[in-house]
């Protein structure tokens, strides 16, 4: 699996989202470093699952498209 990387802008936005969520829902104020650690934890623990799910979804979509193409080709066959 390719490592999950975020641009600095994306990382800043995610860290800010984590800080806001924790403040509003857990009454915990996280600093920049703590929120970055939480983000990295979730990336390490959950990233591969989301990545694999995305691959499965892409594969299912491709299979559906292939079925559609196969059906279209079958309709073009001359009997």
pLDDT digits (tens, 9 = 90+) for 5-62: 899 999 999 999 999 999 999 999 999 999 999 999 999 999 999 999 999 999 999 9
Task: Give the burial class of 38: count Cβ atoms within 10 A of its Cβ; 0-12 exposed, 13-18 middle, 19 or more buried.
Answer: middle
1 occurs within a structural domain: no
User: Which pLDDT band, with edges at 50, 70 and 90, does 78 fall under?
Assistant: confident
47 occurs within a structural domain: yes
Structure tokens at 27: 């009454």
If one counts the domains in the chain, the total is 1
Predicted TM-score (pTM) of this structure: 0.72
2 occurs within a structural domain: no
Q: Which domain holds residue 42?
A: 8-76
DSSP character string of 20-55? HHHHHHH-----HHHHHHHHHHHHHHHHHHHHHHHH
Question: For residue 69, what is the DSSP state?
Answer: H
3 occurs within a structural domain: no
């Amino acid at each position: 699996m390719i490592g999950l990387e975020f641009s600095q802008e994306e990382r800043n936005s995610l860290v800010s989202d984590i800080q806001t969520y924790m403040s509003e829902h857990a009454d915990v104020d996280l600093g920049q470093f703590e929120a970055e650690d939480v983000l990295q934890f979730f990336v390490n623990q959950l990233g591969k699952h989301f990545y694999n799910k995305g691959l499965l979804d892409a594969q299912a979509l491709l299979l559906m498209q292939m079925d559609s193409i196969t059906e279209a080709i079958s309709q073009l066959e001359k009997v």
